[in-house]
Amino acid sequence: MRSFFKSSSDQRTAEPRIARSSSGWADLYKYLQTADALRVLDVGATSANNINFLTNLSHSVYMANFVEDAAKPEWMVADDRADAPTGGTRFNLEGFVTENMDFAGRQFDVVLLWDTLDFLPVDLVAPLVNRLYEVLAPGGKLLGFFHTKLLPAETNFSRYHLTELNQVEMQKVGKFPLVQVFQNRQIERMFQAYSNYKFFLAKDNLAEVIVTR
């Protein structure tokens, strides 16, 4: 996978960090403190803070930023389908999955998905959820955030920094648009292959869920 270990160029930004209470992170943090040598996949803009935080807990960390990768113009190709309008383009789903979702045989115990699914091209959501199921070890946990309102002009793509408190720090990165929102029923259907899920209430426009493989 070409960008699996590559640091995001957004790492150089100096946007302020905004603390946000997170019951989902607080719950997952307890798990990370009691387990040894877990393999964690942090999905999103690279955070050196997260790498240090998780390795200090004796876990190994891997990074992937599907939102940034999917936004590259190289993934838009001519739409050669019979019913496509002349001169139309489409997202190269097959090529993206092949090149960016190959985890080189690795399995993970924890996935920090954050709000990635809200910013992806629609056709890419299900393939990513299915691929994460395949690479998440049995009993593994996934933390996801989901915007509850479609407010693209007011919603920023953010880097999430972990803390020892019951909160994460959000830092605006890039200019990726909010593409879609998912309601609880849609999230349940999305993760129906997993063994269970746990929703956490939030006072802002972000819902949180921990899904167990």
* Prediction pTM value: 0.90
According to the model, what pLDDT value does residue 83 have? Answer: 65
Q: How are beta strands 89-91 and 76-78 bridged, if at all?
A: antiparallel
According to the model, what pLDDT value does residue 118 have? Answer: 98
Instruction: Give the C-alpha separation, 64 to 100, whole Å.
Output: 9
According to the model, what pLDDT value does residue 82 have? Answer: 59
According to the model, what pLDDT value does residue 87 have? Answer: 61
Looking at domain 22-160+185-212, its CATH superfamily turns out to be Vaccinia Virus protein VP39 (3.40.50.150)
According to the model, what pLDDT value does residue 86 have? Answer: 62
According to the model, what pLDDT value does residue 204 have? Answer: 86
Q: What is the signed CA dihedral for 42, 27, 58, 7, rounded to 10 degrees?
A: 20
Q: What is the CB-side half-sphere exposure of residue 28 using CA atoms within 13 A?
A: 31
Instruction: Give the C-alpha separation, 30 to 25, whole Å.
Output: 9
DSSP the chain: -TTTTPPPGGGG--PPEEEEE-HHHHHHHHHHHHS-S-EEEEESS--HHHHHHHHTTT-EEEEE-HHHHHTSGGGEEE---TTSPTT-EEE-HHHHHHHHS--TT--EEEEEEETGGGGS-HHHHHHHHHHHHHHEEEEEEEEEEEESS--GGG---EEEEE-SSSEEEEEE-S-PPP-----HHHHHHHTTTSSEEEEE--SSSEEEEEEE-
| Mean pLDDT per 10-residue section of the chain, whose length is 213 residues | 42 78 97 96 95 97 95 88 68 92 93 98 94 96 96 93 96 94 95 95 89 97
